[in-house]
Amino acid sequence: MSIIIIDTGCSNLSSLSFAIHRLGYKPIITSNYKDIRIAKKIFIPGVGTAKTAMYNLNKYNIVQEIQEAKVPVLGICLGMQILGSYSMENNVKTKTLGIFDSIVVSMKKNKLSLPHIGWNYVLPVKNNVLLKNIKKKEYFYFIHQYIFPINIFTIAKSVYGESFSAIMCKKNFYGVQFHPEKSGKYGSILIKNFLEI
């Protein structure tokens, strides 16, 4: 099975690759449209900015390949955020992939420190294959400052001063705001669930 980790030009590629290897699969890290076109599973990882990620995807000429993908696609953290319509990082409107009709916004400061870093629970709000064998309110590892508000694509939420989308899904496109590759047992289960879709 051809498993692709898209090189967005941002960090966090190797830890995801290792997590997939531990499950017995051999992913390829690439930004080549030919690899993406024949993939059976596609991961879009990322730690960085939406502006940088989108600049690189456009530079590699793979935006359309991702948008038109018919196979399962999983965006992780920044990779999830660029599946939206726009990102408002640093109060600058950056056009993203337009899969989820929702805009990424900054978390409210409230009395909590930002970015949101550490373990937090994820509460399912809809049934989804990605959550198979994962109990309600299991903990996953987050590191982010920007969020999708709760919307029609939200299948699980978390709370850090405010509720936000922790997992989203639209047809074959999935997104997780946390890092499953850094989330121990249940992160591994979630990646396995995705690979078995």
Single-letter amino acid, residue 6: I
**Which helix (H) or strand (E) is 119 found in, with range?**
strand 116-124
**How many C-alpha atoms does 26 have within 13 Å on its Cβ side?**
1
**What percent of the chain shows pLDDT beyond 70?**
100
Predicted local distance difference test score (pLDDT) of residue 165:
98
Whole-structure pTM value: 0.97
Dump pLDDT digits (tens) for 48-60.
Answer: 899 999 999 999 9
42, pLDDT greater than 80 = yes
186, pLDDT greater than 90 = yes
Predicted local distance difference test score (pLDDT) of residue 47:
86
Active site residue 21: no
Instruction: Name the active-site residue from 10, 65, 77, 138.
Output: 77
Q: Whole-number mean pLDDT of the chain? A: 96
Lowest mean pLDDT among 45-49, 86-90, 112-116, 146-150: 45-49
32, pLDDT greater than 80 = yes
End-to-end CA distance of the chain: 12
Active site residue 144: no
| Reported confidence tier of residue 195, pLDDT bands at 50, 70, 90 | very high
Give the sign of the dihedral formed by CA 33, CA 174, CA 51, CA 103. Answer: positive
Dump pLDDT digits (tens) for 152-167.
Answer: 999 999 999 999 999 9
109, pLDDT greater than 90 = no
Predicted local distance difference test score (pLDDT) of residue 12:
73
Q: What is the average pLDDT across 187-193? A: 98
Predicted local distance difference test score (pLDDT) of residue 43:
98
**Number of neighbours of residue 113 by Cβ within 10 angstroms:** 10
Active site residue 181: yes
